[in-house]
């Protein structure tokens, strides 16, 4: 599916990733803004990487990696307390809204670029 500006779906993104063109900014459809607004938090995978998409109070979106900075556990399987997730392996805590690692502030979660276009949120693995 293309959105007319070079946007790609997950399968196209994975094809590019496998062909070694992943350095080029690729946008992945994270879903309709309307649906995401109703959900608040969406956990998804992009290129095999767990990603968390959160709608902020001001209506904007943030997308962050969901891989623990300690030993790489998948945070999407962790316990959620509002915007805070507890790592399922050793209990480090992260705030998805800010990216801060509460347990080790020197190791924040990376943010990914987002844009709203055509009524959908698009996420790029390019760092924002």
CB 109, CB 31: distance < 8 Å: no
3-class SS shares of the chain: helix, strand, coil, % to 5: 15, 40, 45
With 0-12 / 13-18 / 19 or more C-beta atoms within 10 angstroms meaning exposed / middle / buried, residue 60 is: exposed
First-to-last alpha carbon distance for the chain, in angstroms, is 24
CA distances from 40 to 25, 51, 125 (A): 25, 14, 20
The residue (of 40 and 91) whose beta carbon lies closer to ligand FES is 91
Q: How far is the CB of 71 from ligand FES (least distance, A)?
A: 4
The residue (of 8 and 69) whose beta carbon lies closer to ligand FES is 69
The residue (of 89 and 110) whose beta carbon lies closer to ligand FES is 89
Return residues touching ligand FES (CB under 6 A): 68, 70-71, 73, 87, 89-92
The residue (of 14 and 84) whose beta carbon lies closer to ligand FES is 84
Q: How far is the CB of 48 from ligand FES (least distance, A)?
A: 18
Q: How far is the CB of 91 from ligand FES (least distance, A)?
A: 6
Q: How far is the CB of 11 from ligand FES (least distance, A)?
A: 30
């Amino acid at each position: 599916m293309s959105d007319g500006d070079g946007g790609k779906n997950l399968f196209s993104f994975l094809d590019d990733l496998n062909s070694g063109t992943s350095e080029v900014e690729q946008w992945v459809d994270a879903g309709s803004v309307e649906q995401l607004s109703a959900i608040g938090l969406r956990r998804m995978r992009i290129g095999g990487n767990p990603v968390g998409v959160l709608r902020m109070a001001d209506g904007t979106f943030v997308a962050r990696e969901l891989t623990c900075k300690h030993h790489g556990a998948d945070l999407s399987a962790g316990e959620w307390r509002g915007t805070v997730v507890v790592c399922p392996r050793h209990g480090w805590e992260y705030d998805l809204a800010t990216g801060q690692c509460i347990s080790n502030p020197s190791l924040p979660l990376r943010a990914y670029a987002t844009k709203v276009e055509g009524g959908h949120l698009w996420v790029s693995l390019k760092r924002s």
